[in-house]
Structure 1
Amino acid sequence: MKSVISTVLLSALAVSAAPGLVLDVAGPSSVVDLNGLTVKATLKNTGDVALKLLNDPRTVLSKARTNTFSISSPSGTPKFTGLYAKYVPSKAVADAKESTFTVLAPGQSIEVEHNLAGVYNFTQSGEGAYSFTANNLFNYVDESGELKTIEPSSNSHQFKLAGKLAVSNGHISSISRRAVSYTGCTSTEQSEISTAATSSNTYVADVNSYLAGISSGTTRYATWFGTFSTSRHNTVVSHYKDIGTDATSTNYDCTACKSESGIDYESTFAYVNPDSPGKINLCGQFWSAPNTGADSRAGTIVHENSHFTVNGGTEDHVYGQGAAKSLAQSDPDQAINNADNHEYFAENTPALS
C-alpha cells in the first residue's frame, strides 16, 4: 500500500512540475524623439521548475539590435534597420557556454531594456499612435537536457510618436563590389573564407540550375518551401538569381562581431545589416562549422546574402532545420522569406531530389 501511495504522490508531483513564463513590455506613453524610445521587457518564471532559457538574438533576452518587436499603427509599420544574425539553438546548447543562457528560478524575473533608436525607422509610417509586442517564443533546455520551446503569456504596449522619426544606426556602409576582401582576418581565416565563398557560389549556381528545371513540387522544394505555387517558386528563383556570385565580391569582417553590442560572439555564426550589401560580419560559430553541409560556412554565406534587401530581404522567422521544415508546411509564404530555408535548400543535407 505504501508503495502504491508513494507512486501516486511522485506521479502527482511530476504532473504539477510545469514550466510557466510571463512576458511584460512597458515603455513611455509618448515619445517626441526616437532616441527616447526605450522599452523595458520583464520576463518572469511563473512555473514551479527552473527555466534555462537561450539568449536567442530574436528575443528580449538578447540586447542585439535585431527584429525583436512587432510594431504597427493605422498608417503602417516602421522599417526595420537593425541586424539579422544566423543562430542555431541546437548548436548553442551543444556548446553549453554560460553566456548562451539565462536561468530563472521559480518566481524569479529579469528586466532587459531595449533602445529602439536606429533599429526601426518611422519616417514612412509617420507620427501617430503605435502598438507593439515582443516576440514571445523562447527556447529552453529542460532538466533532461532536451531543447524545447515555451510561449509565455504577454501583453502589448501603446505609445505616441512625434518629432524625430529616424536615427542613423551606424551600420550603413557602401561596399564597392569588385573581389572578395577582408577586415581584421588572419591569413588562415582569409583562406577559409575564400574556400567557403567559392563553395557558396557553387551552391547558388546549383540551386539556380535545379529551380530552372522544375515546374511543380519536388521532395526537396516541398521540404524547404512547402506547397508549390508558381508565384512562390518565382520569388525563390529571384532571390537566388539576385544572390548570384555575391559571395566572392563581399567584404568579410572577422573582428566586428566581437564588439557588436548584444551579439554573443561564441553562439552566433554571422550577422549583416540588410541595407549594407557586400558586408558580412563573421562570429565564433562560423569558424567551428564545416565548409559545406548543414549549417556550414558556405551555407552561412548564402543565409546572410539572402538577408540583403537587394537580394529579396529574407528575415529570421525561425532558426534550425526542424523549425524551417515545420514553417514550410505550416506557412509557405513565410518559408520563402526565411533565411534558414534558403540556406538549407542550398546545402541540401541530407540530400533530397
Structure 2
Amino acid sequence: MFRTSAAATASATSHSPLLPWGVAALVCFVAGGAHAAAAVSGLEVRLSVAQPVLKGDVDVHVSVSITNTSRQPRQILRSQLPGSAPMAALFRISRDGQLVDYTGPLVKRGPLTEADYLSLAPGETQTFEAELTGTYDLSQNGRYAIEYIGLAKQAEAASAISELAPTYIWLEGRSPQPVSARPEPSPSLAGSVSYTGNCTASQKTTLASAFSAASNYAQAAQTYLNGTGSGTQRYKTWFGAYTSARWNTAKAHFVATNDAFKNKAVTLDCSCKQSYYAYVYPTQPYKIYLCNAFWSAPMTGTDSKAGTLIHEMTHFNVVAGTDDWAYGQSAAKSLALSNPTKALDNADSHEYFVENTPPLP
C-alpha cells in the first residue's frame, strides 16, 4: 500500500486518466479454473486461478489480466499491480467468511514519477501473476474468496468503484503451521523507543524528536475526540459525514494510537535506503522502518515526520488496522465525502487529521 504527498497526488492525478468509475462485476466458474471479471472505466479486469481446488502445502498463484477496451492509452500505477516492488496489499482474501491477515509490508511512498506508471495501449492486454502464500495467511484448510482491489486504490474517490466479484479456491490437506506470536514487551520496555538498522547519532536525535511530536499529535487527537461528538469541520474534512458510531470509531483508533506511543515498546529502524517515507508489517507491531523521504520531511505539519509515524502506527492490526485507499490531502478529502467508512480505514486520513494543517476547528 502506498501513500504519496499532496503534491505527488496532484501530479499523479494530472498525469493519469485512470480514475475508474463504476464496476459491473460477474463471477463464473469454468472447467479447470475459477474466474472473476469486471469492467473499470475502459479497462477490463479478470482474476483467475488455474485450479479451484488445491491439495497439500502448495503455493497459491492467481492471475490478473487487464485489457484496455477504450480508444485511448490508459495509465496504471505499477505499485497497484501484482509483481510490483515493494509488495502491497492488492488482494482482499477471506476464509469461510473471515478475513485473513496480510503479512507483507505497507509502504508510504514519495512523489510519483513517469516510471511509476504502466501505459496500456488501446486493445492491449497484460497479465500479472501473484503468489499469495508469501504475503497472506493461507495456512488453514477451507474455502477462500480472493478479490483484487489494486485498481480501487488508484481512484481519487475509491468508493465510486463497486467491488470486483471474488474468485474462489478450496485448499485442503494443509499442514498446521506453528504459531509465531510477538512476545509482549516486558514492563521495563513498555513505553520505550529502541533503534535498529544502524541509525546514526543524528538520526536517533531526529527520531526522538519525531516520536515525541507524534506522541503529542496522538494525545491531542484523542483529547479532541473525547469531546462531545459532532460534525466539526475538522472531523468532516477527513472522516466525512458525522454519525456517533463513526466518531466513536475514530476515537477508538486514536485511543489505541496514543496508547501505542505512550505504553508500547516501539522500534524505529534506519536500514531502508529506498525513496519511500516508511513502511511497516501490519502483523508485526510496533516496528517502523524509516526510508529516504522521511529524513527530508518537516518535523510537523503536512506530510511530516511526526505525521508519518502516526500514519504507520495506525497500520498495525493491533492499533487501527488502516489501509491506504487514498493518497494525499486532495484524495483524502474526496474519500471523506464519498465514502466515510473507507476514510476511517485510510491511514492518510488519520495523518492529516492529527497534522491539522491548515488548522480547522
Same fold (TM over 0.5): yes
Q: Does residue 295 of structure 1 match 2:303?
A: yes
2:104 & 2:111 partners in 1: Cα distance? 22
Determine helix, strand or coil for the equivalent of 2:324. coil
- The verdict on how the C-alpha distance between 1:66 and 1:171 changes in structure 2, with shifts beyond 3 A counting, is farther
Q: Does residue 182 of structure 1 match 2:198?
A: no
2:175 & 2:308 partners in 1: Cα distance? 33
Question: Which of 84, 101, 112 does residue 117 from structure 2 map onto?
Answer: 101
- The verdict on how the C-alpha distance between 1:22 and 1:151 changes in structure 2, with shifts beyond 3 A counting, is farther
TM-score normalised per structure 2: 0.74
Q: Does residue 191 of structure 1 match 2:195?
A: no
Gaps of 5+ in 2: 1-40
CA positional deviation for 1:159: 1.8
Deviations 1:125-146 (A, max 9, x none): x533333221133649xxxxxx
2:255 & 2:98 partners in 1: Cα distance? 30
Counterpart of 1:38?
A: 61
Deviations 1:266-323 (A, max 9, x none): 2x32111222222001223222322111111111100111122222322223322222
Question: Which of 305, 308, 324 does residue 316 from structure 2 map onto?
Answer: 308
Residues 231, 242 of structure 2: 8 Å contact kept: yes
Question: Which of 141, 144, 149 does residue 127 from structure 1 map onto?
Answer: 141
Counterpart of 2:289?
A: 281
Determine helix, strand or coil for the equivalent of 1:311. coil
CA positional deviation for 1:213: 2.7
Deviations 1:241-263 (A, max 9, x none): 222264475211121x45xxxxx
Counterpart of 1:341?
A: 349
Q: Does residue 242 of structure 1 match 2:264?
A: no
1:34 & 1:319 partners in 2: Cα distance? 37
Paired residues for 1:66-105 under 5 Å: 66-72=88-94, 74-87=96-109, 91-93=110-112, 96=113, 98=115, 100-105=116-121
Residues 38, 113 of structure 1: 8 Å contact kept: yes
Residues 35, 116 of structure 1: 8 Å contact kept: no
- The verdict on how the C-alpha distance between 1:25 and 1:251 changes in structure 2, with shifts beyond 3 A counting, is same
Q: Does residue 158 of structure 1 match 2:171?
A: no
CA positional deviation for 1:161: 1.1
Note the aligned Cα RMSD (angstroms): 3.3
Determine helix, strand or coil for the equivalent of 2:303. coil
CA positional deviation for 1:344: 0.8
1:299 & 1:76 partners in 2: Cα distance? 31
Residues 154, 326 of structure 2: 8 Å contact kept: no
1:169 & 1:41 partners in 2: Cα distance? 31
TM-score normalised per structure 1: 0.76
Partner AA of 1:319 in structure 2: Y
Residues 117, 167 of structure 1: 8 Å contact kept: no
Q: Which structure: larger Rg?
A: 1
Partner AA of 1:195 in structure 2: S
CA positional deviation for 1:170: 9.3
Question: Which of 43, 52, 55 does residue 21 from structure 1 map onto?
Answer: 43
Partner AA of 1:137 in structure 2: A
Over the matched positions of the two proteins, sequence identity in percent amounts to 34
Q: Which piece of structure 1 moves more, 208-217 or 293-302?
A: 208-217
2:310 & 2:91 partners in 1: Cα distance? 25
2:55 & 2:313 partners in 1: Cα distance? 36
**How many residue pairs end up in the alignment?**
312
2:176 & 2:64 partners in 1: Cα distance? 22
CA positional deviation for 1:62: 2.5
Counterpart of 2:327?
A: 319
- The verdict on how the C-alpha distance between 1:112 and 1:86 changes in structure 2, with shifts beyond 3 A counting, is same
- The verdict on how the C-alpha distance between 1:171 and 1:107 changes in structure 2, with shifts beyond 3 A counting, is farther
Gaps of 5+ in 1: 1-18, 141-146, 259-264
- The verdict on how the C-alpha distance between 1:292 and 1:59 changes in structure 2, with shifts beyond 3 A counting, is farther
Counterpart of 1:270?
A: 278
- The verdict on how the C-alpha distance between 1:65 and 1:161 changes in structure 2, with shifts beyond 3 A counting, is farther
2:337 & 2:161 partners in 1: Cα distance? 20
